[in-house]
Amino acid sequence: MAKQVFLSAHRSYREAITPQKGEMTFQIVVEHTDLFVTAERDLSAPMLDLVHALRGELKSFMLLTPGFRESLRPVPAPDTAPRVAREMARAAGLCNVGPMAAVAGTFAELVAEHFARVSPNIIVENGGDISMHSTRSRVVALLGDPESGARLGLRLEKKDFPVSLCASSSTIGPSLSLGQGELVVVRSRSGAFADAAATALANLIDSGDDLNLVLAQARKMAPLGLDGVFAQAGGKVAVWGKMELVALEG
């Protein structure tokens, strides 16, 4: 039987997110950008303005740069380009993927970075790609199978922040993946790089037998900024780098 692909617009995994004391959650949606934010106070109004501004800058740049939106290979961005486009282009170049492979992680990173000044504890999740600033330890669930729910989590200590965790999957969500991996999660300081790297590594997977290839490529990418990877395919799991996994209840 073919593997089910999960494309629901309802992100049920968000229902399990529990803010810690002194924190709250809210959602920002602008066209295809869908942010779920945990912060120390309601920042929805200024954050909405920032997302509109970032999207406007990126749209304007793409209109003037043929292929930036459609290419599955790197497309350079000049120093005069808006930062959002430069970050996407840089990450795509390092990982040999198209710039749009880095868009969700870039948005999460830029938004979290901007508002960390007023909320030192802030988590911005953008369709499974997360950028985090925190003054306390956290556990992030790894959602390998939405039907059964998350069973594994990644523990992060105070010294680990800021950090980004970005995912790519051929079976969860609408993002383009050329492989057959159920889930690849990359850890990096850079959200743009983590997003592009997750796509590049997921593209290598045709079956569970390819997980060793993913780990080998992840090690090669470590000097570029890859700090850890979790990969799942064909009933097998592979982990490398700074990935302290913990079992989750329920």
Residue 172's nearest CA partner among 149, 146, 202, 192 is 146
Query: What pLDDT does 188 receive?
Result: 98
Tokens found for residue 137 = 């330890």
Tokens found for residue 230 = 């979790």
Over the stretch 25-47, which tens digit does the pLDDT of each residue have?
999 999 999 999 999 999 999 99
Over the stretch 180-228, which tens digit does the pLDDT of each residue have?
547 899 999 999 999 999 999 999 999 889 999 999 999 999 999 999 9
Residue 9's nearest CA partner among 130, 146, 127, 101 is 127
Buried b (16+ CB within 10 A) or exposed e, 177-206: bbbbbbbbbbbbbbbbbbbbbbbbbbbbbe
What are residue 139's phi and psi, to 5 degrees? -125, 125
User: Which are the contacts of 54, defined by CB distance < 8 A and separation ≥ 6?
Assistant: 82, 84, 107, 110, 111
Residue 99's nearest CA partner among 74, 64, 130 is 74
User: Which are the contacts of 90, defined by CB distance < 8 A and separation ≥ 6?
Assistant: 77, 192, 193
149: left (phi over 0), alpha (psi -120 to 50) or beta: left
Identify any residues that bridge with 240 across adjacent strands, giving them in sequence order. 229
Q: Judge contact between 106 and 88, C-beta under 8 A.
A: yes
Q: Judge contact between 130 and 124, C-beta under 8 A.
A: yes
Strands of the sheet with 236-241, listed across from one edge: 24-30, 33-39, 122-126, 129-133, 163-168, 183-188, 226-233, 236-241
**């569970």: which residue's tokens?**
208
pTM for this predicted structure:
0.88
35-39, 161-165, 166-170: lowest mean pLDDT where? 166-170
Question: Maximum CA pair distance of the chain?
Answer: 50
Query: Sorting pLDDT into bands at 50, 70 and 90, what band is 170?
Result: low
Beta strands (DSSP E) in 100-158 are: 122-126, 129-133, 138-142, 152-156
Query: Sorting pLDDT into bands at 50, 70 and 90, what band is 141?
Result: confident
Mapping DSSP onto H, E and C, the string for 5-47 reads CECCCCCHHHHHCCCCCCCEEEEEEECCEEEEEEECCCCHHHH
Query: What pLDDT does 18 receive?
Result: 73
Query: What pLDDT does 154 receive?
Result: 94
Q: Report the C-alpha gap between 206 and 162 in whole angstroms.
A: 32
Which domains can be identified in the chain, with CATH numbers? 12-247 (3.10.520.10)
